[in-house]
Amino acid sequence: MNVVRSAGGGGPGNNYKFENENATIIPTVRRPTCSIAELMRKTNFSKEEIRHLYRRFKQDCPSGEVSKTHFTTIFSTLFPGGECFRYSTFVFRNIDRTNLGYIRFEDLIATLSILIHGSVEDRLSWIFDLYDLNKDGMLTKSELSQIVASIFQLMVPVGKLNFTSIAIAIEERTDHLFQNWDRSRTGFINKEDFLQYCLQDEMIQRSIDVLHTNIYL
């Protein structure tokens, strides 16, 4: 909205003229900060694939960004019977690595490149980062328990929740995973131990190729 001081500033209070006061405000559209050439260098996608993905992204997100609320809404279509807010928040945070509070196209395509074209180790590393909630490079039992709980909420229909049995199952699952992954018995899991355990397990490696790999770990 343009503000222009009236000629001569006459009248009490120095009146101002507001141009286009009732004009419709055009929302800001956020465009990628990287060129196609840069995205090709940073990912394993071709120019045609990037253009296709960007067209799809713009269809779903005309503003050029994905808010946490929008992301949760999209995510909920994958698990209509469960409660996905907690888990989708963890995923959102792992994609929004710069802590902007929204996901840009370049953030999304970087994640897709890892999950689709990355090696098993690359994808396992992304999963570890997802589980490492405070991003300090170490996975604690408390963090793992929160992840396990969020996955149970995804998979168990809300109307069938038995909180006592679910709490016991979460604790047992957390203890089992933590004992397997804490190979150094330090009370926390580092990425090296996590990768070493997962890479030697053929069943885990096969499950990496499933869309929601981290549900099965």
- pLDDT tens readout for residues 135-170: 999 999 999 999 999 998 888 766 666 778 888 999
- Answer whether residue 51 shows pLDDT above 90: yes
pLDDT for residue 202: 57
pTM reported for the whole predicted model: 0.77
* 162 phi and psi angles, rounded to 5 deg: -110, 100
pLDDT for residue 146: 95
Distances (CA, A) of 208 to 36, 89, 101, 115: 28, 21, 28, 9
The band of 89, judged by pLDDT with boundaries at 50, 70 and 90, is very high
Which of 32-36, 55-59, 204-208 comes out lowest in average pLDDT? 204-208
Angle at 154 between CA 151 and CA 155, to 5 degrees: 90
Bridge partners, residue 102, by sequence: 67
Last residue of a domain, one of 51, 84, 117: 117
Last residue of a domain, one of 82, 117, 152: 117
Last residue of a domain, one of 117, 134, 161: 117
* Residue 13 forms part of a structural domain: no
Which is more confidently placed, 77 or 6?
A: 77
Range of the domain at 135: 120-216
Same domain flag for 205 and 124: yes
Bridge partners, residue 16, by sequence: 5
pLDDT for residue 104: 94
* Residue 170 forms part of a structural domain: yes
Same domain flag for 158 and 175: yes
Tell me: the pLDDT tens digits for 70-82? 999 988 888 887 7
Same domain flag for 45 and 104: yes
Same domain flag for 210 and 128: yes
Residue recorded with tokens 């609320």: 69
* Residue 103 forms part of a structural domain: yes
* Residue 19 forms part of a structural domain: no
User: What token pair was written down for 82?
Assistant: 């469960």
